[in-house]
Amino acid sequence: MAPAVLPAGSSGSSPATRLQAEQGPSSHKNELYHPGPTHLGRFRLDAETCSDAVVQHPEAFGLSGAPVLSRPGEGVEVFDVSEAQLLGCQDLAFVPWRFGHALICVAASCDSEDLVRQVVLPAFFEALQVDMAAEELHQMQPVYRLAHWKEMRADFVVAGFESGGSSSLVHYLHRVPDIYIMPFELSDWARDFTLPPAAAPSCDDEPSYWPAFMSFAFWPAAETVERFNQQVLRCGTPPRRIGVWDSRYATHDIARRKIQALLADKDSARVLLCFRDPVRYVVSHFNRLSPESPGGSSLLAVVQGTDVDPDPFGLRLWKGNYTLLARKLAAAVGWERLILQPFDLLTDADEMSALLRGLGSVHSLGQLGQLPHRNRGESKRVDPCAPSVEDRSALAQLEKLYFPEFQRLRRFTGGRWHHWHMKRCPNSVKTFFLWRKHNFEIQISVVLYKKPLFAKSSWYEQD
């Protein structure tokens, strides 16, 4: 939206004057006081003072109008435009607000919902020469104050991967005395801001997904940031490292961009990606699906692409291309902030100690006990240690498909990680030799032809 400039000399018919005429001569004397999250001091808030500020600071409307919601098909460029307006507004010591799907920059002396509705928005639409009836402005929803993600006092993000052991790892980290995982309630997911917020959760609640970055909204409400930071003060003392968790973040462009915004100006902040063997990821995720659901009828059909789960959060083979997703996240936050952690190695005390140090914890393992196994599936429709003939064919094709990824993961982890293979199956000598035959064929194909036998998919990443 082009910068809007309020026409000069319009004070005689200003929104404040019209408001006074509608509500009576004394309405502008009903002073409101609000501290505001992005500026210091207490301001005298009334319609006349707000109207004067609107006229005196037309540059605020030049930082207004950007979208605050993502729409299907839009890229991160829209997010960048929105962030530039929000930060520009704050740099001028003004306050960013959301009205409907857009951002509006508000002078500090207008920083209340009533004044935004009754003074600022009418002036903004008047400057754009857009007719908006008072009733339309009154009914416009939502209208609330915005903040930037970096204002949240978070120290690390567990951003992936799905079916990669992140649930088990987060519940383990929850036991560490100097780490606190922010609960779901402080994400304000699907929150109706016309209603008062729920009571703050207990500091002892079990950790849960914090899906704030999965919202269509680019920016959190200032109230959400305030409640988040209050929870940090309540539950983060003595000093604890504060983490948020949703294993879907790594796979979504806007979520990665929000992580970048959250970690801005926080040199010690980290992003943790926990992964399991890609083949095990596919099998584990498939076993949780109902045979009647899309993407759940046959593992072989899934691998061959004839049965596809339409749910964007469901089973997707490209989600097992961890190095591709890690590189995208590193492009947003930097390799120095990224921790790529093999889940299978966390049973080793030295590996877990190194991870805790990487997250900024000074705690030793002590009596924390073994790593819990969360979300252990009941279904064994596909058992890698005892596959059916059809499943053996599917597993062999998965091996070929992911072979380049195995090599990249080993490099990315400095040789610490090794591909899961059948010799780990108890009493499965026959199956082990069958898989060794497949692996030998794959290795020969890579040596001779420099590529896997399986056809490359659109998400396949070359070195």
DSSP structure string for 380-445: -SS-TTS--HHHHHHHHHHHHHHHHHHHHHHHHTTT------GGGSTT-HHHHHHHHHHHHHHHHH
CB atoms inside a 10 Å sphere around CB 188 = 22
Contact in structure between 220 and 212 (CB atoms under 8 Å)? yes
Structure confidence at residue 422 (pLDDT): 52
Residue 376 has pLDDT above 80, yes or no: no
Residue 5 has pLDDT above 50, yes or no: no
Structure confidence at residue 143 (pLDDT): 92
CB atoms inside a 10 Å sphere around CB 78 = 17
Residue 19 has pLDDT above 80, yes or no: no
Q: Which of the 8 DSSP states describes residue 94?
A: -
pLDDT-wise least confident of 6-20, 98-112, 270-284, 350-364: 6-20
Structure confidence at residue 368 (pLDDT): 54
Most confident of 220-229, 233-242, 280-289: 220-229
pLDDT category at 289 given cuts 50, 70, 90 is confident
Structure confidence at residue 366 (pLDDT): 55
Averaged confidence pLDDT in the chain: 81
What is the C-alpha separation between 262 and 333, in angstroms, rounded? 10
pLDDT category at 155 given cuts 50, 70, 90 is very high
> Per residue in 329-361, is it b (16+ CB within 10 Å) or e — as a string?
bbebbeeebbebbbbbbbeeeeebeebbeebbb
Average confidence (pLDDT) over 243-271: 95
Structure confidence at residue 462 (pLDDT): 43
> Per residue in 98-109, is it b (16+ CB within 10 Å) or e — as a string?
bbeebbbbbbbb
pLDDT category at 206 given cuts 50, 70, 90 is confident
What's the alpha-carbon Rg for the chain, to the nearest Å? 27
Q: Helix (H, G, I), strand (E, B), or coil: what is residue 230? A: helix
Average confidence (pLDDT) over 223-227: 95
What is the C-alpha separation between 322 and 197, in angstroms, rounded? 37
Q: Which of the 8 DSSP states describes residue 159?
A: E
Structure confidence at residue 197 (pLDDT): 82
CB atoms inside a 10 Å sphere around CB 20 = 18
Structure confidence at residue 44 (pLDDT): 57
Q: Which residues contact 188 (CB under 8 A, 6 or more apart)?
A: 197, 212, 220, 221, 223, 224, 227
**% of the chain with per-residue pLDDT over 70:** 78
- According to DSSP, the residues that pair with 104 across neighbouring strands are 97
Claim: this prediction has a pTM higher than 0.85: no
Q: Helix (H, G, I), strand (E, B), or coil: what is residue 342? A: strand
Average confidence (pLDDT) over 127-155: 88
Longest dimension (CA), the chain: 92
Structure confidence at residue 446 (pLDDT): 40
What is the C-alpha separation between 127 and 3, in angstroms, rounded? 10
pLDDT digits (tens, 9 = 90+) for 112-125: 999 999 899 999 99
Average confidence (pLDDT) over 142-162: 95
Pairing verdict, β 102-106 and 95-99: antiparallel
Average confidence (pLDDT) over 212-238: 93
Question: Can you say whether the dihedral through the CA atoms of 247, 319, 215, 35 is positive or negative?
Answer: positive
Structure confidence at residue 188 (pLDDT): 83
Phi, psi of 278 (to 5 degrees): -55, -40
Who wins on pLDDT, 175 or 63? 63
Contact in structure between 197 and 227 (CB atoms under 8 Å)? yes
pLDDT digits (tens, 9 = 90+) for 303-337: 999 998 888 778 888 889 999 999 999 999 999 99
pLDDT category at 243 given cuts 50, 70, 90 is very high
pLDDT digits (tens, 9 = 90+) for 391-404: 999 999 999 999 99
Residue 132 has pLDDT above 90, yes or no: no
Structure confidence at residue 373 (pLDDT): 61
What is the C-alpha separation between 453 and 394, in angstroms, rounded? 14
Amino acid at 463: D
Residue 291 has pLDDT above 90, yes or no: no
pLDDT-wise least confident of 2-11, 280-289, 382-391: 2-11
pLDDT digits (tens, 9 = 90+) for 403-424: 999 999 999 999 999 886 654 5
Residue 431 has pLDDT above 70, yes or no: no
Q: Helix (H, G, I), strand (E, B), or coil: what is residue 299? A: helix
Instruction: Report residue 283 as tokens.
Output: 């099998």
110 Cα distance to chain centroid: 31
> Per residue in 31-69, is it b (16+ CB within 10 Å) or e — as a string?
eeeeebbbbeeebebbbbbbbbbbbebbebbbbbbbbbb
CB atoms inside a 10 Å sphere around CB 210 = 25
Query: Domains in the chain, please, with CATH?
Result: 11-145 (no CATH), 149-275+316-380 (3.40.50.300)
Structure confidence at residue 377 (pLDDT): 52
What is the C-alpha separation between 252 and 318, in angstroms, rounded? 12
What is the C-alpha separation between 188 and 220, in angstroms, rounded? 9
- What are the distances in angstroms from CA 1 to CA 66, 100, 363? 7, 15, 51
